[in-house]
């Protein structure tokens, strides 16, 4: 079966433990960035189409891809978190459920 997609690091081992052969290659820097971006969109769609505990699992997958994207920019989760906190202090979060309809 053809997959042609970025997978988690241990997936080839899991496949091989099921007596199957995983055909893999290591991506170039540019391919890796593009595949991470595709994976982020894939995870976004899975988040949107899930709920309950499944949604939490999909959000965790999405966060894992976001961290990989940050690492690819020589940043890490702490860098993301610092920026998130600063933006929240400056502009607020989303807890008040404010829906902006118009500005006049």
Q: Tens digit of pLDDT for each residue in 51-101?
A: 999 999 999 999 999 999 999 999 999 999 999 999 999 999 999 999 999
Q: Is residue 52 part of a domain?
A: yes
77 lies in which domain range? Answer: 27-89
| Number of domains within the chain | 1
Q: Is residue 102 part of a domain?
A: no
Q: Is residue 1 part of a domain?
A: no
Q: Is residue 13 part of a domain?
A: no
Q: Is residue 9 part of a domain?
A: no
pTM for this predicted structure: 0.89
Beta strands, E only, the chain: none
Q: Is residue 73 part of a domain?
A: yes
Q: Is residue 19 part of a domain?
A: no
Cα→Cα distances 68→27, 36, 73, Å? 14, 8, 9
């Amino acid at each position: 079966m053809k997959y042609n997609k970025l997978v988690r690091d241990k997936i080839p081992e899991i496949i091989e433990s099921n007596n199957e052969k995983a055909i893999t290659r290591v991506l170039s820097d540019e391919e890796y960035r593009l595949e991470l971006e595709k994976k982020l969109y894939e995870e976004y769609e899975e988040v949107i189409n899930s709920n309950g505990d499944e949604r939490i699992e999909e959000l965790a997958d999405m966060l894992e891809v976001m961290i990989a994207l940050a690492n690819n920019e020589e940043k890490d989760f702490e860098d993301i978190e610092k920026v998130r906190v600063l933006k929240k202090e400056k502009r607020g979060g989303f807890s008040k459920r404010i829906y902006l309809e118009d500005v006049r």
